[in-house]
Structure 1
Amino acid sequence: MRVSLAEIRERTYKPVDAWWTVLLVDPLASRLVRLVAPCRWITPNGLTLVATVIGVGAMAAFAQGDPRSLVLGAVLFHLSFVVDCMDGKIARLNGTGTVFGQWLDFVLDRVRVFFCALTLFGGQYLRHQDVAYLWLMAVAIFLDLIRYLNGSQVAKVRQVMTDELGPAEDDAGGAGRTAAWLGRRRIRTHLFSGIEFEMFVYIIGPLTGLIFPVTIVAGAALLLFELIVIIRLYQAAREHPARLAAARERLVSSGV
């Protein structure tokens, strides 16, 4: 029996996600999931491999470097991302996810993006004979690496503070109006994350033909929001000892 779209949304959507995913991926991915979910032979790992194959098509198109090929590469890159989002939804819906599948999904994501960077900027270098594209490629790969490293380390530090304080104590308070408005729409306040960076570089840039300026603007936006994350982490870390002492004092006074 085919599940409804409402059930797919309830069981597979993340509580909050990147706005690109919420607005431009989930509406299509959920409908595709509804079509393929009854086919139990379609597994999350299989979808991960399909996404990688489509990504290879994007790489081949980017390497050509001409405007039509860039548009084709951008479309294939977006389709690859849609299918990549489907694997997690199928895993949650059918209960077929595995630890190995999570590893495979992560590794192939990174491989796909890395080689798309090589072919996109390398293709432009070969077409225009402008070494600036090679420098831009290095910057794009570096920024993608830094945001992954920073994200994982920030998450680890916050988890340590949460474990020490407890989830209730670690809650910084009610969200502001903007955050609440975004939250009701499942959009996270980190408005320019790695997902948006990749989509702007490998979709918006090739579609518009403005690869150089779009990559520069996207890189600056990514750095800005990563800086905001670091500042918030620094503030939380400075406040942590006092909050931890207050929490321990409350436990002592309550006789726990």
Structure 2
Amino acid sequence: MTFTLEEVRLSTYKARDAWWTVFLVDPVAGRLVVATANRTSITPNQLTWGAFVLGLGSAACFLMAEWVWLAAGAFLYHLSFVLDCMDGKIARLKGTGTVLGGWLDYVFDRIRVFTCTLALMGGQYRVGGQEVYLFLGVAVVFLDMLRYMDALQVGKVRRQMRQKLRKAIREASPADPAALTGGLPSGKPGLDADPDPDPDPDADDGEAVIRTARTVDLQQEFRSRFAWYLRIRDWLRDHRVRTHLVSGIEFQMAVFIVGPPAGGIIPVTVGAGALLLLFEVAIVYKLWLSSRDLARALAEIRRARPATVG
């Protein structure tokens, strides 16, 4: 079977992704996937291992601490990320994803971040003796794990909120199977063959709607407070870009690709870390507003329940 670029886009591109991936990785990775899928027998796991080896090569370059090596390390890190994106695309395209592949992808991602951080900041400390690089190293590893764990937890809470609302609606209308007709956000991609290494905690933005005999919108208060944001959100969605503009991916790319060759490791890392935290706070704030919408919706359902169940 011969795959086309259009087939790769339709079956492997995520509905929404980090802007770095959408604009700087997918245009290259998609074409490489076509060539790899059509002309070779390379497996997703082999690509995962290749990305891991390139990541270690990037760390070795960072450790040298000289500009030419920092630039080489940045290039290898980006190439490693391209391969890291390709493995999932190949798995989805050919249906060859495995549980082991998903585990390897996640573990290798975390090891790559840790080793590159250790090499980059350790190399700079070895050359200049500035202790600030040691603190930055700890901060980078901490923020990488915080971002990932927070995204998973926020996603879990959103699912629990929808489940709680569905349960309340079913209990309010037990004899009416049409009372709950849906509830899963539309436009979602299928299950990936491996877990997203940078899950989007804001994935329900604009789509957190439970469709019942009436529509319950869990983003109602946010929309009313930030109506100006909706145009920006729609533009980003039309271009497949997450509204979470500084996620774990952008943070890593700033630290390992932008900062080293630009000669601005400290300011770039600090700036990217601050933006990452800002967007995490924004996500938590939106979640808090959604919880208020949920509380109001549940209260309305309880008040209407006696009339509904007669």
Instruction: Give TM-score, length-normalised by structure 2.
Output: 0.78
Return the offset for 1:203. 0.3
Task: Give the partner amino acid of 1:99.
Answer: V
Q: Which residue of 2 aligns with 1:43?
A: 43
Deviation, structure 1 residue 40? 6.4
Partner of residue 230 from structure 1, selected from 284, 301, 306: 284
For 2:191, the equivalent position in structure 1 comes to none
1:126 counterpart residue number: 126
Separation (CA, whole Å) in 2 of partners of 1:255 and 1:22: 49
**2:11, 2:267 → 1: CA distance?**
39
Taking the aligned partners of 1:90 and 1:250, their CA distance within structure 2 comes to 50
Unaligned runs of 5+ residues in structure 1 are: none
Find the aligned partners of 2:295 and 2:102 in 1 and give their Cα distance: 35
- Counterpart of 2:262 in structure 1: which amino acid? T
Range 150-159 or range 172-181, more displaced: 172-181
**Matched-pair contact (CA < 8 Å) for 1:165–1:247:** no
- The reply to whether residue 67 of structure 1 matches residue 67 of structure 2 is yes
Q: Are residue 107 (structure 1) and residue 137 (structure 2) matched? A: no
CA deviations 1:28-58 (Å, max 9, x no partner) are 0000000111356311111111100010110
Aligned-pair distance for 1:239?
A: 2.6
Hey, what's the Cα distance between the residues in 2 that align with 1:113 and 1:152?
A: 18
- The size of the alignment, in residue pairs, is 256
Task: Structure 2 unaligned segments of length 5 or more: list them.
Answer: 167-182, 184-208, 211-215, 224-228
Q: State the secondary structure of the residue aligned to 1:38.
A: helix
> CA-to-partner distance for each residue in 1:129-148, whole Å, 9 max, x for gaps?
11111111111111112111
Instruction: Name the residue aligned to 1:12.
Output: 12
1:81 alignment partner in structure 2: 81
2:236 aligned residue (173, 182, 188): 182
Question: What SS does the corresponding residue of 2:38 show, helix, strand or coil?
Answer: coil
One of 238, 245, 257 as aligned partner of 1:191: 245
Name the SS of the counterpart of 2:42 in structure 1. Answer: coil
The root-mean-square deviation of aligned C-alpha atoms, in Å, is 1.9
The structure-2 alpha-carbon separation of the partners of 1:246 and 1:44, relative to structure 1 and needing over 3 Å to count, comes to farther
User: Do the aligned partners of residues 254 and 143 (structure 1) sit closer, same or farther apart at CA in structure 2, a change above 3 Å counting?
Assistant: same
Partner of 1:28: 28
> How has the CA–CA distance of structure 1 residues 46 and 247 changed in structure 2, closer, same or farther, with 3 Å as cutoff?
farther
Q: In the superposition, relative to structure 1, how do residues 249 and 105 fare at CA in structure 2: closer, same or farther (>3 Å)?
A: farther
- Asked if residue 92 in structure 1 is aligned to residue 146 in structure 2, the reply is no
Percent identical residues: 50
Amino acid at match of 1:203: I
Equivalent AA in structure 2 for residue 210 of structure 1 = G
Larger radius of gyration: 2
| TM-superposition CA deviations, 1:222-243 (whole Å, max 9, x none) | 0100000111111112332221
Deviates more, 1:21-30 or 1:146-155: 146-155
